[in-house]
Structure 1
């Protein structure tokens, strides 16, 4: 695990803990519950990839994803997912990331 992966691993574990706490303390399920649960699944998947030494690999092609893209979205699974970023980000994504 390199320094960037180690930093992201720590951030992912912290975010996982925060989401789990939010889900446990929610008094009722609402529209946010499903989003939190899906994000938790993505985080668990990214943590498993780090532990397996597969973090940063495109799950479709096996190619390495750009490091800048991984730092922007550590739960990214494939190059195809990066095509969706423009729809969700409020700031422009540099083409070198994609």
Structure 2
């Protein structure tokens, strides 16, 4: 792992702990519970990719995802997902 990936790994682990604590402390199930579970799955996948050495590869094509996007959204899975992000940004993300 390079320094950037190491930092992302630490941030992902911290976020994972925060989400797990939130889920443990929730009194009742609601729409947010499903969102938190989905985010937790994405975080676990990203952590596993970092551990396996294939972090940053598109799950569809295998090509490398832009590092700039991975710093912002380390759970990004595919090039197609990154193309959809452009619709939500006011400034260029590249």
TM-score interval (norm. to shorter): over 0.9
TM superposition score normalised by structure 1? 0.89
Runs of 4+ in 1 over 2 A off after TM superposition: none
Matched, 1:51 2:51: yes
For residues 55 and 14 of structure 1, the distance between their equivalents in structure 2, rounded to whole angstroms, comes to 18
For residues 36 and 84 of structure 1, the distance between their equivalents in structure 2, rounded to whole angstroms, comes to 21
TM superposition score normalised by structure 2? 0.93
Match of residue 90 from structure 2: 92
For residues 22 and 42 of structure 2, the distance between their equivalents in structure 1, rounded to whole angstroms, comes to 16
For residues 70 and 91 of structure 2, the distance between their equivalents in structure 1, rounded to whole angstroms, comes to 13
Residue correspondences, number: 94
Q: Structure 1 residues 23 and 81, CA, compared in 2 at 3 Å: closer, same or farther?
A: same
Match of residue 12 from structure 2: 12
For residues 93 and 57 of structure 1, the distance between their equivalents in structure 2, rounded to whole angstroms, comes to 24
Match of residue 42 from structure 1: 42
Structure 1 stretches lacking a partner, 5+ long: none
User: How big is the shift at 1:83?
Assistant: 2.3
